[in-house]
C-alpha cells in the first residue's frame, strides 16, 4: 500500500544520524526535517495516477522554502501562488509561466498587470476582478490563460476555518446566486477558457471534493454547448484545486490519491481526455507527511495533576494547533539526548507548552507519553506543510534550522535565522 506517513523507525534513524553528525547544535533548540525521497514519491505518485498532461501546481503556501520549491520543480511540478510575492518567488526559482497558477481574492491592478505581463494562468476571483482583467487586456498583449473561480456551494467540511465551498465563502463567484452573471461572462469574453474550484483544505471528505467537481463539470458542459452555438472556443482548462486530506493521527484514515483520481475519471470521464487540460493544486497532501520537527525539552514542570514539557515551538510554528486544538492534532514521540526512542508501559499525561508569552501557547494537552526529562527531544510528526509558512513573529523567536535528507545524505535547506535577520524584520 502507498505509505501515508513516515515510520517512527525511519524518523529515528534520521534523527540519530543528524545528532551524530553534528546537525543539531546547542543553539538548535528546534529543528525541522524534510524527507526528500518521501516528497519525491508524492510527486511521482501524482504523475502516475492523473493523466500525464496534468499540471500539478503545488500550493506554495504549504511550503515556500526555496530549496523545496527547486526540488519539486526539478521533478516537473508547477506552483500555485496566492500573492504577488509568491508569484515572483516562483518565477525567480525557475518555474516558467506555463507552470504557474495565480490565485488570490485581492489582486490589485498592479498585481494583475504583472501577472498578465508574465503570462501565468490567472484564476479570477470576482466579477469586479474580471472587469479589471478585461480592461488591462486591451493594452497588454498577454500570454496568460484565464479561468474563473466558482464556488460550487456543496457545503463545508469538518473544519469551518478551512472550508470554502459553503453557501457563503469569501472566495470565488457562487454558482447559485451568481449563475446568470457567470453564464454572461463566459459568453461575452472568449478569452475565459478555464474554471477553477477549491472546496477546502483538510477536513473535506473525498465525496465532498468530488461533488464540487461534479457541479462545475455539469456547468462547463452546459456553457460549452452554448459557446459552440455562438462559435466560441470551449472551456478547456479545468482546475480542481487541492484539498485532499492527510492523516495526522493514527486514527485518521488517509484518503488515497489513487482512489480520488480514479473516482474523478469514472464520474467525470472527459476530464481525463484531451478535451481538457487538467490542473491540480495540492499542497497538504504533497508536503505534510514528508516533514517532522524536533524540539529539545528545556524543562519539565511536574505537578500532581499534569506534567508540562516546556518546548521550543508553540503558536509561532503551530498556530492552529494552539488556537483550535480540537481540529488540529499530531502524533508525538520522545527520544533521549542520545537519540534513543523512549517507549514503555509507563505512560503519563503531558501538556506540551511552547515558549511564547500567552497562556494559550500550548501545542497539545493531556498527551500520553513516556517519562520526559530535561534534555530529551520531542518529535512532532507530520509537519512538512502549513507550519513554517504560517510562522508568527510574536516574541521575536528565531526561525529554526531546516534540514532535508535523502537516505543518509543531509543538507541544510535553510539555516537558523540569525539575530541580525530577525532584528531586520522590525525595521
Task: Report the run of H or E that residue 333 belongs to, with start and end.
Answer: strand 332-335
Query: Do 262 and 48 touch, CB atoms closer than 8 A?
Result: no
Q: What is the Cα–Cα distance from 197 to 152, expressed in whole angstroms?
A: 7
350 forms bridges with which residues in the sheet?
307, 367
Q: Would you tell me which residues interact with ligand LLP (CB under 6 A)?
A: 59, 62, 80, 103, 162, 198, 201-202, 241-243, 281-285, 320, 386, 390
CB-wise, 198 or 381, nearer to ligand LLP?
198
Q: What is the Cα–Cα distance from 209 to 244, expressed in whole angstroms?
A: 8
Shortest distance (Å) from residue 23 CB to ligand LLP: 27
CB-wise, 14 or 244, nearer to ligand LLP?
244
CB-wise, 80 or 361, nearer to ligand LLP?
80
DSSP character for 150?
A: E
The residue written with cell numbers 508540562 in the block is: 308
CB neighbour list of residue 424: distance below 8 Å, 6 or more residues apart: none
The residue of the chain with the least Cβ separation from ligand LLP equals 242
CB-wise, 281 or 376, nearer to ligand LLP?
281
Shortest distance (Å) from residue 284 CB to ligand LLP: 3
CB-wise, 159 or 310, nearer to ligand LLP?
159
Shortest distance (Å) from residue 228 CB to ligand LLP: 29
119 sits in the region (left: phi over 0; alpha: psi -120 to 50; else beta) called left
Shortest distance (Å) from residue 127 CB to ligand LLP: 18
Q: What is the Cα–Cα distance from 369 to 420, expressed in whole angstroms?
A: 37
Shortest distance (Å) from residue 162 CB to ligand LLP: 5
Shortest distance (Å) from residue 171 CB to ligand LLP: 7
CB-wise, 104 or 351, nearer to ligand LLP?
104
Per-residue cell: 121: 494562468
CB-wise, 162 or 333, nearer to ligand LLP?
162
Report the side by side order of strands in the sheet with 307-310.
299-301, 307-310, 347-353, 362-370
Positive/negative CA dihedral, 420, 425, 426, 427? positive
Shortest distance (Å) from residue 333 CB to ligand LLP: 22
Query: Do 167 and 221 touch, CB atoms closer than 8 A?
Result: no
Shortest distance (Å) from residue 80 CB to ligand LLP: 5
Half-sphere exposure of 301 (CA within 13 A, CB side): 9
Query: Burial level of 162, CB count in 10 A (0-12/13-18/19+)?
Result: buried
Q: What is the Cα–Cα distance from 123 to 146, expressed in whole angstroms?
A: 6
Q: Which residues of 95-108 are buried (b: 16+ CB within 10 A; e: fewer)?
A: bebebbbbbbeebe
CB-wise, 386 or 405, nearer to ligand LLP?
386
Shortest distance (Å) from residue 136 CB to ligand LLP: 22
Amino acid at each position: 500500500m502507498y505509505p501515508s506517513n513516515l515510520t517512527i523507525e525511519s524518523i529515528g534513524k534520521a534523527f540519530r544520524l543528524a545528532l551524530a553528525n553534528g546537525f543539531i547544535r546547542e543553539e538548535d533548540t528546534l529543528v525541522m526535517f524534510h524527507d526528500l525521497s518521501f516528497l519525491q514519491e508524492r510527486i511521482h505518485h501524482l504523475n502516475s495516477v492523473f493523466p500525464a498532461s496534468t499540471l500539478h501546481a503545488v500550493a506554495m503556501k504549504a511550503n515556500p522554502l526555496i530549496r523545496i520549491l527547486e526540488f519539486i520543480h526539478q521533478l516537473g511540478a508547477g506552483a500555485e501562488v496566492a500573492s504577488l510575492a509568491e508569484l515572483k518567488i516562483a518565477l525567480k526559482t525557475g518555474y516558467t509561466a506555463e507552470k504557474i497558477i495565480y490565485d488570490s481574492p485581492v489582486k490589485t491592478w498592479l498585481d494583475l498587470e504583472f501577472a498578465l505581463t508574465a503570462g501565468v494562468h490567472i484564476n479570477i476571483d470576482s466579477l469586479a476582478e474580471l472587469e479589471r482583467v478585461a480592461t488591462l487586456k486591451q493594452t497588454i498583449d498577454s500570454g496568460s490563460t484565464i479561468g474563473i473561480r466558482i464556488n460550487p456551494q456543496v457545503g463545508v467540511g469538518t473544519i469551518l476555518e478551512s472550508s470554502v465551498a459553503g453557501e457563503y465563502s469569501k472566495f470565488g463567484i457562487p454558482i447559485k446566486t451568481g449563475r446568470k452573471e457567470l453564464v454572461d461572462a463566459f459568453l461575452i469574453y472568449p478569452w475565459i477558457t478555464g474554471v477553477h474550484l477549491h472546496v477546502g483544505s483538510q477536513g473535506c471528505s473525498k465525496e465532498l471534493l468530488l461533488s464540487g467537481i461534479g457541479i462545475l463539470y455539469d456547468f462547463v458542459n452546459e456553457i460549452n454547448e452554448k459557446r459552440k452555438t455562438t462559435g466560441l472556443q470551449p472551456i478547456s482548462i479545468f482546475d480542481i484545486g487541492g484539498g485532499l486530506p492527510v492523516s495526522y493521527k493514527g486514527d485518521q484514515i488517509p484518503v488515497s490519491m489513487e482512489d480520488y483520481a480514479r473516482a474523478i475519471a469514472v464520474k467525470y470521464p472527459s476530464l481525463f481526455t484531451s478535451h481538457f487540460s487538467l490542473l491540480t493544486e495540492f499542497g497538504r497532501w504533497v508536503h505534510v507527511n514528508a516533514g517532522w520537527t524536533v524540539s529539545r525539552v528545556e524543562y519539565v514542570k511536574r505537578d500532581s495533576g499534569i506534567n508540562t514539557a516546556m518546548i521550543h515551538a508553540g503558536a509561532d510554528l503551530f498556530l492552529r494547533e494552539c488556537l483550535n486544538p480540537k481540529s488540529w492534532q499530531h502524533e508525538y514521540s520522545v527520544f533521549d539526548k542520545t537519540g534513543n526512542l523512549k517507549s514503555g508501559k509507563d505512560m503519563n499525561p503531558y501538556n506540551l507548552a511552547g515558549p511564547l508569552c500567552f497562556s494559550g501557547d500550548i501545542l497539545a494537552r493531556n498527551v500520553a507519553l513516556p517519562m520526559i526529562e530535561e534534555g530529551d527531544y520531542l518529535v512532532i510528526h507530520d509537519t512538512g506543510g502549513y507550519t513554517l509558512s504560517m510562522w508568527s513573529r510574536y516574541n521575536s523567536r528565531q526561525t529554526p534550522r531546516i534540514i532535508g535528507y535523502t537516505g543518509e545524505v543531509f543538507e541544510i535547506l535553510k539555516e537558523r535565522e540569525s539575530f541580525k535577520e530577525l532584528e531586520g524584520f522590525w525595521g
